[in-house]
Amino acid sequence: MNGRLDDLDDPDYPAYTTGRAAEALGVRQAFLRSLDAAGVVRPRRTAGGRRHYTRRQLALAARVRELLDQGCTLAAARRILALEDDLAAERALTARLHARLARQDPDGS
């Protein structure tokens, strides 16, 4: 039983049905279905075809909703998300490189 509970801590575990996900985000289920149809969020499907979303997918859907509410088109929102992901990756790389440099020269000279 413990392994199943641990799954709930995993941000990539598909724990949310469409109804629960929509409720958590404060959106209509149709919004989530449209993100799936557009390929923005790809929920896991059960054998019966029901969608199940992860916490990571819910965060992505929430960010898309934010951008749409600000007047962006879906295409623009997708591009912004891609650029935000790229920026986060570059910032992480920069932080790792700074840490490596600091270990090589602890005095900062």
Per-residue pLDDT of the chain (109 residues; tens, 9 = 90+): 455 666 677 888 888 999 999 999 999 999 999 999 999 999 999 999 999 999 999 999 999 999 999 999 999 999 999 999 999 999 999 999 999 999 987 776 6
CA distance 6 to 24: 21
What are phi and psi for residue 91, nearest 5 degrees? -65, -40
pLDDT value, residue 109: 60
pLDDT value, residue 9: 77
CA distance 104 to 45: 49
pLDDT value, residue 14: 87
pTM of structure: 0.78
Among 54, 61, 20, 59, CA closest to 39: 61
Compute the chain's Rg from CA coordinates. 19
Q: Indicate the SS3 state at residue 17.
A: strand
